[in-house]
Amino acid sequence: MAPLIVLENLCRHFVAGDATVVALREVGLTIEAGEMVAIVGASGSGKSTLMNILGCIDRPTTGSYCISGRETAALDIDELATLRREHFGFIFQRYNLLSELNALANVEMPAIYAGLSPSDRGARAGTLLARLGMTDRISHRPGQLSGGQQQRVSIARALINGARVLLADEPTGALDSTAGEEVLRILDELHAEGRTVIIVTHDMTVARHAERIIELHDGAIVSDRRTERARLAPAARNLAVEAGPPPARWRTQIGRLGEALRMALASMKAHRLRTALTMLGIIIGVVSVVCVVALGEGSRRQVLSSISNLGTNTLEIFPGKDFGDVRSGKIKTLVLADARALAQQPYVAAVTPTVSTNRTLRYGSVEASALVNGVSEQYFDVKGTKLAAGLFFDAGSVRSLSQDIVIDDNTRKALFPDYGGSPLGQTILVGNVPCRIVGIIRQQQSGFGSNANPAVYLPYTTVQARFLGDSSLRSISLRVANETASGAAELAAVDFLTQRHGAKDFFILNTDDIRRTITSTAQVLTLLVAAIAVISLIVGGLGVMNIMLVSVSERIGEIGLRMAVGARRSDILQQFLIEAVLVCLIGGTIGILAALGFGAIFNALTPAFHLVYSASSIVAAFAFSTIIGIVFGYLPARNASLLDPVVALSR
Ligand code: ADP
Ligand code: MG
């Protein structure tokens, strides 16, 4: 069988600025399984460098390092991590425990990366700590333990995955002599169980515990001798703690994910203020996106309901070429005969000619100026106007030029401000013409096209004869038959009138077009504002990235330690990515709740206008904040996972 460790012609160079430091030169060394070896030498002689290479957290510059006959240079990063996790156990001079975890959790950590189930690893860590006399310190944090106790925790951590090779770099260097003795006794015991123990030390009394002492000087081996202890070959005892069969793959995955989640939560808790401020950026972004979309949807509905007050599918025909045609008022081609002819068309459900003028209304001593509309009895049908009281005038009134008037709610308020009874049947003066009120139009919903100006309606015949002295029309309004598309009806009406007039000296307003224009304008506006809100979400994401970068550089030592005990690159990546995503997800959730709360308050305060939240905008905000977390968390997490374990550990 191949020896456990074989080094041949191994060199390690460090490039420091222009100079190259040779930390190890031409090292050749064979260590058999079960040996206890001490590596001694002055400070700077290359002991730690050798140890790091033996433990696979550093690689030789040249030369070969074989473990049980396998060349380590041929192994990739994750295979090296597996070796560190399953074969080696590290014991550091400075213990390198994670200060936010208690003793038990520190011991368990390598087992998580090995994929042990929580109950198994808890039980095994407990057994190990008990064996090292730490039963009553299991839930203490490193800060609450003495140096010797911390070193015992770190020994338990080295053993949790059943390491066959223990690498201890100056394990007693930071301890007083009693605690140091205790640690050496434990190492002796572990050796007696059959493990290979390699101790780095500059203290000869420590080295004498070993069977073999290798001395380094300036990176080269200067002596390699056996001690008396070697002759007292220890009886190999049964290993008290041994690695079980490898756990199922899915369990490994889930365990690692769960651990990454727990670590992310712990670090968020440790930096509460920072986390909260980072979240604030995401919260503001999500609140603005969700609210803007709700605002857009609310205004769209409001506009739609206002437009529906215009009546459905109405065409308005005006003289002139287009809106703002200066000659429009002089063009007299639109006449009553046109309206009558249109009424015969199959696509027309109702039609009314319209004339209008401005007059002063008078009731008693109260005066108001109003728009006087002359319309036919079908006008109210065309417009879908509803009455609050009374009746519309009828065809007979139109024929007989009656002075029956229908007033709107604004007129009622203007002329009868404190009037108790109904104004129906009262006579008012329109200019100098007395008119009898026969109907009152119901108050219109506020919104598009409404204003506070009084308007009254008289038969168009009356208006033409009494006020205008002219038989031309201001416009013709028609309601398109239900079964006809408004576009088709518009085209037919254009053809029909162009034929009658011999030229197209009119233009048509289609309320359906207006509806569509307004709706699409509202949508474009919503999109625009939502885009601005998305920008604020992205700015929030940049904040997350910034903080994660800081967090990675603060925790380089922790990352190095995790790698030394066998964390894969993907474990480190996962841990930081999950932290970023969690910040964003929690921020997103708070943001959505805040937006809903804001909406509830807003809706309670403004009964006329409502924010309308759509499930899709909430889901989108949620998904978007997760994506932000992944996108902006990736770079810091990748930086962390690409760290070199030795470099990270040495910080
Ligand atoms: P020891 O543990 O015996 O005190 P080390 O193995 O730590 O010695 O260092 C051996 C030599 O290599 C020293 O001269 C040290 O300065 C150098 N060295 C170790 N690590 C690095 C590094 N990362 N960069 C540059 N020089 C290094
Ligand atoms: Mg050292």
Dist. CA 113 → ligand 2 center (Å): 27
Q: Which atom of ligand 1 is nearest to the CA of 650?
A: 23
Q: Is the CB of 23 under 6 A from ligand 1?
A: yes
Do both 429 and 533 map to the same domain? no
Q: Is the CB of 235 under 6 A from ligand 1?
A: no
Protein residue whose Cα sits closest to atom 24 of ligand 1? 14
Does residue 222 form part of some domain? yes
pLDDT, tens only, 248-260: 677 777 877 887 8
Protein residue whose Cα sits closest to atom 21 of ligand 1? 14
Does residue 532 form part of some domain? yes
Do both 457 and 534 map to the same domain? no
Do both 375 and 519 map to the same domain? no
Residue type, 222: V
Q: pTM value? A: 0.71
Does residue 510 form part of some domain? no
Does residue 316 form part of some domain? no
Protein residue whose Cα sits closest to atom 12 of ligand 1? 23
* Tokens read off for 553: 């550089």
Q: What is the pLDDT, as a whole number, of residue 307?
A: 66
Do both 56 and 182 map to the same domain? yes
Q: What is the pLDDT, as a whole number, of residue 235?
A: 46
Lowest mean pLDDT among 149-163, 196-210, 249-263: 249-263
What CATH number is given to the structural domain containing 94?
3.40.50.300
Q: What is the pLDDT, as a whole number, of residue 452?
A: 75
Is the pLDDT score of 501 beyond 80?
yes
Domain final residue, candidates 485, 504, 523? 504
* Tokens read off for 633: 């968390």
Q: What is the pLDDT, as a whole number, of residue 241?
A: 41
Q: What is the pLDDT, as a whole number, of residue 237?
A: 39
Q: What is the pLDDT, as a whole number, of residue 448?
A: 45
Q: What is the pLDDT, as a whole number, of residue 242?
A: 47
Do both 556 and 594 map to the same domain? yes
Q: Is the CB of 45 under 6 A from ligand 1?
A: yes
Do both 451 and 561 map to the same domain? no
Eight-class DSSP state of 58: S
Dist. CA 71 → ligand 2 center (Å): 25
Task: Report the domain count for the chain.
Answer: 3
Does residue 509 form part of some domain? no
Q: Which atom of ligand 1 is nearest to the CA of 219?
A: 10
Lowest mean pLDDT among 395-404, 483-492, 628-637: 483-492
Q: Among candidates 301, 48, 56, which has minimal Cα distance to 199? A: 48
Do both 519 and 481 map to the same domain? no
Do both 547 and 621 map to the same domain? yes
Does residue 383 form part of some domain? yes
Do both 460 and 530 map to the same domain? no
Do both 272 and 200 map to the same domain? no
The whole-angstrom separation of Cα 550 and Cα 168 is 31
Most confident of 49-58, 488-497, 503-512: 49-58
Dist. CA 404 → ligand 1 center (Å): 108
The whole-angstrom separation of Cα 609 and Cα 611 is 7
* Tokens read off for 516: 């569509």
Do both 381 and 400 map to the same domain? yes
Q: Which atom of ligand 1 is nearest to the CA of 47?
A: 3
pLDDT, tens only, 70-109: 999 999 998 999 999 989 999 998 899 998 889 999 999 9
Is the pLDDT score of 302 beyond 60?
yes
The whole-angstrom separation of Cα 118 and Cα 120 is 6
Q: Which atom of ligand 1 is nearest to the CA of 49?
A: 6
Domain final residue, candidates 504, 538, 569? 504
Q: What is the pLDDT, as a whole number, of residue 336?
A: 86
Cβ 58 vs Cβ 220: under 8 Å: no
The whole-angstrom separation of Cα 103 and Cα 241 is 18
Protein residue whose Cα sits closest to atom 5 of ligand 1? 46
The whole-angstrom separation of Cα 642 and Cα 45 is 29
Pairing of strands 70-71, 220-226: unpaired
Is the pLDDT score of 310 beyond 60?
no
Is the pLDDT score of 578 beyond 80?
yes
Q: Ligand 1, from 20, 24, 43, 48: best to mutate by most atoms within 8 Å of Cβ?
A: 48
Pairing of strands 404-407, 433-441: parallel
Q: What percent of the chain has pLDDT over 70?
A: 93
Is the pLDDT score of 164 beyond 60?
yes
Does residue 315 form part of some domain? no
Cβ 151 vs Cβ 179: under 8 Å: yes
CA 341, distance to chain mean position in Å, is 62
Q: Domain limits at 303?
A: 260-308+515-650
Do both 494 and 557 map to the same domain? no
Dist. CA 210 → ligand 2 center (Å): 18
Q: What is the pLDDT, as a whole number, of residue 446?
A: 46
pLDDT, tens only, 609-650: 888 888 888 888 888 888 988 989 999 999 999 998 888 888
Mean pLDDT along residues 568-581: 90
Does residue 218 form part of some domain? yes
Domain final residue, candidates 446, 478, 504? 504
Protein residue whose Cα sits closest to atom 2 of ligand 1? 48
